Amino acid sequence: MPRHPITDFLHTAAGPILDVRAPAEYAQGHIPGALSLPLFTDEERARIGTTYKQVNPEKAVLLGLDFFGPKLRKLVEDAKQLAPGQEVRLHCWRGGMRSGAVQWLLELGGFHVNLLDKGYKEYRHWALEELAKPHQLRVLGGYTGSGKTAVLHALAAQGEPVLDLEKLANHQGSSFGALGQPPQPTQEQFENDLAAALAKLPSDKPIWVEEESRSMGSLTIPTPFFSQMQAAPLLVLDVPREARVQYLAADYGRHDAGALASAVLRLRKRLGGLVTKEALGAIADNDMPRMVELVLAYYDKTYGYGLEGRRGITVAAEGTDAAANAARVVAAVSEIASSNSTMLSPDDSQTAGSPAHQ
């Protein structure tokens, strides 16, 4: 069997990636872009595993063959639907019997099969190593409502390398971060997607990333990468409060009142009973600016506390125009670089994480 190490499998071998693990394994985490072609159902896999442990490996293999036999034709037909060119990249968990059996079958069916040597387990090792690699980062910060995500998109449009953590996590970080977002991936899938995104970015240029707290909804930014974010140069957009209120009011006004109320209630302990009641009343009255004013008092105080002791570069902005603010941060970087300032060097000081903002 021709087998490929992970780097060749990802970047040199041709064809769509077919994951022959059980559906539950695929759902827990898979190589980004891989297609599911399960050899066994979740129940079948569980029965084979139980037989392996409680009876013996030989009986488990025979049981697997019982399940495999009736599926031969359908597996080939499904593979042709997923890979009309009939060249595929294939893997299971460890590059063992499951991928070997499907490779044998697909080659009988006329496919050219590129097998991942040590399976998905090898991809996980690669992903975790990618997250731990040193990366040149520039962190874009700012108080809630500064429009940082839009500025990142504007930077990307200007050709700057950008990593959009919020898009990968399907969450904007705050209590309101799930509004309008699809379900979040699993932690394992988030790590896989993050590693793949990092690997696609240039290694010889700084990567822009938005300042986030370590937790993004149900997900956690992996420690090795989050530590690099904390040590990276921080550029803080200083947008007037009134502009931030207008920006957030327009954003939140697009969402369901019930979802907004739930987000406010999640902050009840931090806002206090009276402020929570007033914010809920503002939502009921469709007074988004008032609701935002009430919530911003908490977020601004928390963010200001998080900035204490952390070296940052303040970039004054007149409003939330993304293109204009992207130009401002690029100009600030150029000005500091031309003055040979150390402000763009990584900051080794230990600082508390600050909350994520839009």
Among residues 238, 161, 170, 251, the alpha carbon closest in space to that of 207 is found at 161
Same-domain status, 156 and 45: no
Query: Rounded distance, CA 136 to CA 228, Å?
Result: 9
Among residues 238, 18, 68, the alpha carbon closest in space to that of 148 is found at 238
Same-domain status, 315 and 171: yes
Catalytic annotation on 264?
A: no
Same-domain status, 140 and 156: yes
User: What is the model's pTM?
Assistant: 0.90
**102, 128, 154 - which closes a domain:** 128
- Could you tell me the maximum CA-CA distance found in the chain, to the nearest angstrom? 72
Catalytic residue among 20, 88, 92, 209: 92
Tokens of 236: 């803080």
Same-domain status, 280 and 328: yes
Looking at residue 62, its pLDDT comes to 94
Same-domain status, 110 and 204: no
Asked if residue 171 is part of any domain, the answer here is yes
176 close to 288: Cβ distance less than 8 angstroms: no
Same-domain status, 139 and 204: yes
Looking at residue 306, its pLDDT comes to 78
Start-end of H helices in the chain? 6-11, 23-28, 42-54, 57-68, 72-82, 97-108, 119-132, 148-157, 165-169, 187-200, 223-231, 241-252, 257-266, 268-271, 273-284, 288-307, 322-338
Same-domain status, 100 and 238: no
Tens place of pLDDT per residue across the chain (358 aa): 578 999 999 999 999 999 999 999 999 999 999 999 999 999 999 999 999 999 999 999 999 999 999 999 999 999 999 999 999 999 999 988 999 999 999 999 999 999 999 999 999 999 999 999 999 999 999 999 999 999 999 999 999 999 999 999 999 988 888 988 999 999 999 999 999 999 999 989 999 999 999 999 999 999 999 999 999 999 999 999 999 999 999 998 889 999 999 999 999 999 999 999 999 999 999 999 999 999 999 999 988 887 877 778 999 999 999 999 999 999 999 888 777 666 666 654 333 333 444 4
Looking at residue 142, its pLDDT comes to 94
**87, 102, 128 - which closes a domain:** 128
Asked if residue 189 is part of any domain, the answer here is yes
CATH number at residue 281: 3.40.50
Domain that holds residue 162: 134-344
Asked if residue 253 is part of any domain, the answer here is yes
Q: Look up residue 306 and give its amino acid.
A: G
